Amino acid sequence: MTTAAQHPTPRHALLARLLDPEQVVMFDGAMGTMLYARGVFINLCYDELALRSPELVRDIHAAYVKAGAEVVETNTFGANRPKLSQYGLESQVALINRRAAELAREAAGEHRLVAGAVGPLGVRLEPYGPTSREEAGRHFAEQMQALLEGGADCFVLETFGDLDELQQAVLAARAVDARVPVIAQATIGQDLRTAFGATPEDVAVALDRWGVDIIGLNCSIGPQTILEAIERMAAVTDRKLSAQPNAGMPRDVAGRRMYMASPEYMASYARHLVNAGAKVIGGCCGTTPEHIKAMVEGVRPLAPRTRVQVGNTREFAVENAAPVGREPVPLGERSRFGAKLAAGQFVTSVEIVPPRGIDTSKLELDAQALAKAGVDAINVPDGPRAQSRMGAIATSLIIERHGIESVTHYACRDRNLLGMLSDLLGASALGLRNLLLVTGDPPKMGPYPDATAVFDIDAIGLTNLVSKLNRGLDPGANPIGEPTRFVVGVGVNPAAIDPEQELRRFHWKVEAGAEYAITQPVFDPAQLERFLESIHDVRIPVVAGIWPLVSARNAEFLANEVPGVTVPESVLVRMRKANERSKEHALAEGIAIAREALERVQSSVQGVQISAPFGRVEYALDVLTARTV
C-alpha cells in the first residue's frame, strides 16, 4: 500500500480526513434498497449483480457520489463464502468481491474513497455453532483480500450482532494488510443491545481495545435510537465514531415494508449525531441518494478545517478546500472595531446585558455614557445563563443609534440552521458588523428548564457558516450575492476544566475563520498568560474579559454557579475580608482586583471587555481608568 507521503493524491487527502478524529466524512446510503427499487427481487443474490448487472450497481454508486457521498461502499455485504454457498456461488468469492470493488472505484474516481463492505458470515461461531474462530477468520480474509485487489481503500465491517464474530473480522483485516483503515460497526435493537446482549458501552470498549480505527453502529434501527447509543459510546472511548442508521423503522404500507423517514428528518439527525460525537455519517436500509444529499447539506457547516497527522509515518496537511466565492472584505474595512483589531490597536468594550422587558431607556442612557467616555464597543450577550431577555440583535441595533458600535453575541442554542442564516443575513443588512459566536448555555441552567435547546451546530460550525457568508456563500456553498462584512469573534476560556480540549477547540475555531477572541472573565492573570503562551502558533487578537466583583456573595456565585468562570481562592479571601468591613469596602476591593488584572494583562492582549455587574456601567468605567495609554 503506497503511503500518502509518497504520492499525495486527493484519495490520500480524503483518507487522512477519514482517520482524523474531528473531521466529518459522509458515507453513502443503502444499496439493497436501491436495487430492490429498480426491480431486483429479494430472493436473488444481490452480491452477484457485480457480475450479472455491473451497470446497475455502478449507476447506484454514481448516484451516491453525485449526492455528495465521500465514501462509497462496495456491494459485497454478503459476499463471503458461507453466504454465497447458499446460491452455489462459493467458488466465485474472489471474483465477485474484486469486481464489486472495481465498480465502486469506477464510480468513485480519484476524489472519493471506496470502502470494502464486509458483513457477518450468517453462521454461528463456536461455542454457539459449528464454525471455529479460525475458519471464520479465513472466510473474512478471503473476501477482504479480493476487495483490496479491486481497489478498496478501507474496510467497513458492518451490522455485526456478535462481538466474537466481529473480533475475527477485525483480526482478519489486520492480517490481510495492517495499514488499511478499519471501520467496525455493530448493530443494536430498540433496547440498545446487540442480539447477544452487548450494550453500546460494551461495543465501544471492545472495539477500542482491539484497535480499530473507527467505532460505530449501523442498521436495525432509526437515527433516534442510534443517537442515544452514540452518546453513550462517546463517554467511554476517544476513538472516532460512525453512525449509519436506517431511515426509521419499517412500516407496513399496503402490504409492503416501507421506510418512512424523510431526507429532512435524516438530515436533522445527522447534525445531532455529529454534535454527539459521530464524525463518520451515512445511511443504511431505506436511505437513498436523496437522503444522503440532505444529510451532506445538513452537516456541511459542522466540518472544521484542520491540519492533521496520521500515525508516525503518514504525515501531510489536509484542509477542506476554501469555498469558491468572493474574497472577504478586508478586516480593517468592516467596522471601526475591526479596523483597530487589524491595526494592532488596543480595543475597549463594556458588556451590558439586554433588558428583561421592552423599556430601553436605561440601555440608551448607558450607551450614550459609554460613547462619551470613548469606549470602542458595547458587548451584548445573547440570553446569558439561558435567561429570557430582549434579543441581542435588536439590543445591538438600539445601541448603535447612539454612535457606539456593538459586539453582538450570537448563540447556537435557540435557533436551527435556517433560523441562524435568516438572523445573520438580516443583521448584516441592518448594519451590524461585529459578532461574538458562542455555543450558548443550555436551558436547564436558566429559569425555564423545560425550554427546548436546538444546537444544530456549535460555535465551530457557526464560525464556518459566518466565514462562508463573508465570502458570499450560504451553508451549501451557494452564492448569496453581496457578501456579509462581519468581524468574526469567538469565545475562549483560559481556565477551562479540560485545557487540552479547550485548546483543540480554539485551534478549530481559528481554522474555521475566527478573527479575534474574547476570554471568559479573568481573575487570575497568570492563568491567562499561560494560555496565551499555549496559543502562540495560532495567535489571533485576544480581548481579555474582566469582571469587577461587587461583593463576596457575587464572587462566590461566579466561582460556584457560573460555568466557565474560575475565581481563585486568593480573590475569594480578599472579597470576604473586605465584605466583613462593609459593602462599600467590598465594592472598592472588587474594582481594585479588576484594575490589577487590567494593569497586568494589557501588554499581553489586544483589548479588554469589562462587564458591568448589575447593569452599573460606572463600575466598568472605574476599572478602565486603570489602563495606561
- Which of 187, 185, 125, 135 is closest to 155 using CA atoms? 185
- Annotated binding residue 219: yes
CB 40 within 8 A of CB 83: no
Alpha-carbon distance of 359 to 425, in angstroms, equals: 26
Residues 572-581: contacts with CB within 8 Å, 24+ apart?
A: 575/549, 575/551, 576/552, 578/552, 579/551, 579/552, 579/553
CB 205 within 8 A of CB 187: no
| Number of continuous H segments (helices) and E segments (strands) in the chain | 23, 20
Alpha-carbon distance of 222 to 245, in angstroms, equals: 5
φ/ψ of 594, rounded to 5, equals -65, -40
Cα end-to-end span (Å), the chain:
61
Cα dihedral: 458, 464, 469, 474 (round 10): -80
CB 140 within 8 A of CB 175: no
What is the three-class DSSP state of 359? coil
CB 49 within 8 A of CB 79: no
φ/ψ of 606, rounded to 5, equals -110, 15
- Annotated binding residue 154: no
- Which of 285, 290, 289 is closest to 119 using CA atoms? 285
Q: Is 501 exposed, middle or buried (0-12, 13-18, 19+ CB in 10 A)?
A: exposed
Alpha-carbon distance of 419 to 487, in angstroms, equals: 20
Alpha-carbon distance of 427 to 83, in angstroms, equals: 59
Strands 314-315 and 309-310: antiparallel
Strands 309-310 and 278-281: unpaired
CB 263 within 8 A of CB 10: no
CB 187 within 8 A of CB 217: yes
Instruction: Count the residues in the chain.
Output: 629
CB 69 within 8 A of CB 282: yes
Q: Is 529 exposed, middle or buried (0-12, 13-18, 19+ CB in 10 A)?
A: middle
- Annotated binding residue 45: no
Assign residue 564 a region: left if phi > 0, alpha if psi is -120 to 50, beta otherwise? left
Cis peptide before 127 (omega within 30 of 0): yes
Strands 256-259 and 516-521: unpaired
CB 566 within 8 A of CB 495: yes
Which residues are documented as binding site for Zn(2+)? 219, 284-285
**Binding site per annotation, positions:** 219, 284-285
